[in-house]
Amino acid sequence: MSEQNVDKGRRRMLTLATSAVGAVGAGFMATPFILSMTPSARAKAAGAPVEVDFSKLAEGVLLTIEWQGKPVWIVKRSNAMMEKLGTLTDLLADPDSDVIAQQPAYAKNTSRAQEKHPNISVMVGLCTHLGCVPLEKFAIGPASDMGDDWSGGYFCPCHGSKFDMAGRVYKNVPAPTNLPVPPFRFLNDTVIVVGENPEEAKV
Ligand code: FES
């Protein structure tokens, strides 16, 4: 693909990404399970932490919120999704998140999650190649259109990068690193603050 075409493609995807985030923002008002989004919209636009109640979020469903102008994904992963994470090491470029720190220290583990809530995934939903928004491909096996041996994850439609359910990038794709995990802390089992570290992680 020529540089010009890549640029055009990227512009188009960034426009789509912005639209998608806008739609999610509108969805907050109509979606009953989002109990609170604080602080004010103006502060949020400036990058303030965002509180998210995901108590009504079903297992295996992708929730997108906006933080610092970026889409952030929250997923309550199923047992089947969690079991696959330990089986992919040989297929991944950086399975232990050792090469480049793309997550806080407390999320440097196989599930890239916090120890007390290993099934809750929180990630910035922007491809680490050129910033497109990857697609959710959570189905395991052929139902995903990703091949019979697909283990569930994310697929970037711009240039074909693939990530597992922990946002770890597969080998031999354009994306150079795992998807970023933002700072986040739990207020209780179903409410998090995106943009803040847990108390015990603060120095
Ligand atoms: S932006 Fe190129 S693979 Fe995702």
CA of 129 from ligand 1 middle (Å) equals 5
* Sheet of strand 153-155, all strands in order from the earlier edge strand to the far edge: 135-137, 153-155, 162-164
CA of 1 from ligand 1 middle (Å) equals 12
Mean pLDDT for 54-61 is: 97
Beta carbons of 193 and 184 less than 8 angstroms apart = yes
Distance from first CA to last CA of the chain, Å, rounded?
A: 46
Probe ligand 1: pick from 3, 14, 129, 171, max atoms within 8 Å of CB? 129
User: Can you tell me which atom of ligand 1 is nearest the CA of 160?
Assistant: 3
pLDDT for the residue 99: 84
CA of 13 from ligand 1 middle (Å) equals 10
Phi then psi for 65, rounded to 5 degrees?
-120, 175
pLDDT digits (tens, 9 = 90+) for 62-89: 999 999 999 999 999 999 999 999 999 9
The least confident of 11-20, 70-79, 132-141 is: 11-20
Within 10 angstroms of residue 142's Cβ, the number of other Cβ atoms is 11
User: Can you tell me which atom of ligand 1 is nearest the CA of 173?
Assistant: 3
pLDDT digits (tens, 9 = 90+) for 139-191: 999 999 999 999 999 999 999 999 999 999 999 999 999 999 999 999 999 99
Cis peptide bond upstream of 118, omega within 30: no
Alpha helices in 31-173 (DSSP H): 41-45, 79-85
CA of 72 from ligand 1 middle (Å) equals 17
Domains of the chain: 3-197 (2.102.10.10)
Q: Residues with beta carbon inside 6 Å of ligand 1?
A: 127, 129-130, 132, 156, 158-161, 174-175
The least confident of 7-21, 127-141, 182-196 is: 7-21
pLDDT for the residue 182: 97
> So which residues are the catalytic ones?
159
Confidence label for 47 from pLDDT (cuts 50, 70 and 90):
confident
Full-model pTM: 0.79
Nearest CA to ligand 1 atom 3: 159
The conformational region for residue 102 under phi > 0 = left, psi -120 to 50 = alpha, else beta, is alpha
Contacts of 33 (CB under 8 A, 6+ apart): 53, 54, 55, 56, 57
Candidates 57, 96, 87, 97; CA nearest to 73 is 57
Residue 31 has pLDDT above 80, yes or no: no
